[in-house]
Structure 1
Amino acid sequence: MAANEDQEMELEALRSIYEGDDCFKEISPVSFQFRIGDLDDTKAFLIDITWPETYPETGPQLSLDTFFNNRISADTKQAIRSKLEEQVEVNLGTAMMYTLFEWAKENQEALMEDHKPMVTTVTLTPSSEVKVPVSAAKKKEKKLQLTKAQKKRMISRTDNKGELPRGWNWVDVIKLSKTGGRDEE
């Protein structure tokens, strides 16, 4: 079989296996993304795989450089990539995408054992070095201003502690009975 026929057969199999699975995404007929782990899991990562023309005789191109993986350190990414490439070497010449995805899911803990979530830090410079325009500083200090009418309405609705009185949104039962809430006999 030609490489393209193998690719078409594997593509059909992947589409049928991962239909409706939000972890699998087909970007093009030769490019895929597969998420290992849940979205809210700190140890989740996304594998980006592209098939060369001679796939499966040559291994796919693996990448972990997606935005989803920005909290993973470069060392952890390199370790995951090298372990996945070992699996590619073992399965060379066969349809290996399903095998790679399942192997990565089963070994997620081992792949992410050295992972420590990266936190992006922001360094602040001392105020003597930063010149803030006076108009910008005044805008930041500006507080919400209420008109007298707005203040009076707010005070009339609340008690002395600024809270709405008990029952402010209750419905008057007597008024309901006069309007014919039920059929009267």
Structure 2
Amino acid sequence: MTANEDQEMELEALRSIYEGDECFKEISPVSFQFRIGDLDGTKAFLLDVSWPEMYPETSPQMNLDAFFNNRISAETKELILSKLEEQVEANLGTAMMYTLFEWAKENQEALMENHKPVVTAVTSISSSDVTTAASTAKKREKKEQLTKAQKRRMVSRTDNKGELPRGWNWVDVIKHVSKTS
């Protein structure tokens, strides 16, 4: 089999295995994202994997550069990638995406045991800022949101200029009749 045939078969298998799984995302036919751990977990990470042209004969390209991983230190990222590279070397020449993903899920605790979340700068907020933010949020809440069906009805009522035709509601009809009588 050629590399492209192997890729097509593995792609079909991945699609059927991870159909409906929120941890797996197919970016393109040769690029994937796997989320290891719970979405709100502090030890979760997102693994980006891309297949080069000669995959599975050559190793896939893996990185942890996604924004989701910003709180993970560089040392932890290096450790995770080095452990995954060991698994890639052991499975070189075979379809390995499922194996890598499952291995990472099973070994998540070991991979993240030395993980200390990276803390970003936090600014202090005064109580007046909080009250103004709360009042603007309330103002935003009051804005009426139309459903898609309501928007469609509005569009279907308008003419090609975006104007409602005369008499589209009873108030408009009464105003017109009162002016003409």
TM band (smaller chain): 0.5 to 0.7
- Alpha-carbon distance between aligned partners in 2 of 1:113 and 1:57, rounded to the nearest angstrom: 32
Q: Indicate the residue corresponding to 1:95 in structure 2.
A: 95
1:83 is aligned with what amino acid?
K
TM-score (norm 1): 0.66
- Alpha-carbon distance between aligned partners in 2 of 1:7 and 1:19, rounded to the nearest angstrom: 17
Q: For 1:57-113, what per-residue CA distance to the aligned partner results, in whole angstroms no more than 9, with x for missing partners?
A: 000000000000000000000000000000000000000000000000000000001
Q: For 1:101-140, what per-residue CA distance to the aligned partner results, in whole angstroms no more than 9, with x for missing partners?
A: 000000000000110111102479xxxxxxxxxxxxxxx7
2:52 is aligned with what amino acid?
P
- Alpha-carbon distance between aligned partners in 2 of 1:42 and 1:17, rounded to the nearest angstrom: 26
Q: Indicate the residue corresponding to 2:24 in structure 1.
A: 24
1:30-41 → structure 2 map (5 Å cutoff): 30-41=30-41
| Pairing 1:113–2:120 present | no
Q: Indicate the residue corresponding to 1:85 in structure 2.
A: 85
1:7 is aligned with what amino acid?
Q
Q: Indicate the residue corresponding to 2:62 in structure 1.
A: 62
Q: Indicate the residue corresponding to 1:6 in structure 2.
A: 6
Three-state SS of the structure 2 residue aligned to 1:27 is strand
RMSD: 1.8
1:88 is aligned with what amino acid?
V
Gaps of 5+ in 2: 133-181
Gaps of 5+ in 1: 125-139, 144-185
- Alpha-carbon distance between aligned partners in 2 of 1:123 and 1:38, rounded to the nearest angstrom: 28
TM-score (norm 2): 0.68
Larger Rg over CA atoms: 1
| Pairing 1:44–2:44 present | yes
- Alpha-carbon distance between aligned partners in 2 of 1:90 and 1:102, rounded to the nearest angstrom: 15
> CA 1:20 to 1:123, structure 2 compared with 1: closer, same or farther past 3 Å?
closer
Three-state SS of the structure 2 residue aligned to 1:9 is helix
Higher share of residues assigned helix: 2
Percent of pairs with identical residues: 83
- Alpha-carbon distance between aligned partners in 2 of 1:84 and 1:117, rounded to the nearest angstrom: 21
- Alpha-carbon distance between aligned partners in 2 of 1:75 and 1:65, rounded to the nearest angstrom: 13
- Alpha-carbon distance between aligned partners in 1 of 2:39 and 2:117, rounded to the nearest angstrom: 14
1:58 is aligned with what amino acid?
T
Three-state SS of the structure 2 residue aligned to 1:49 is strand
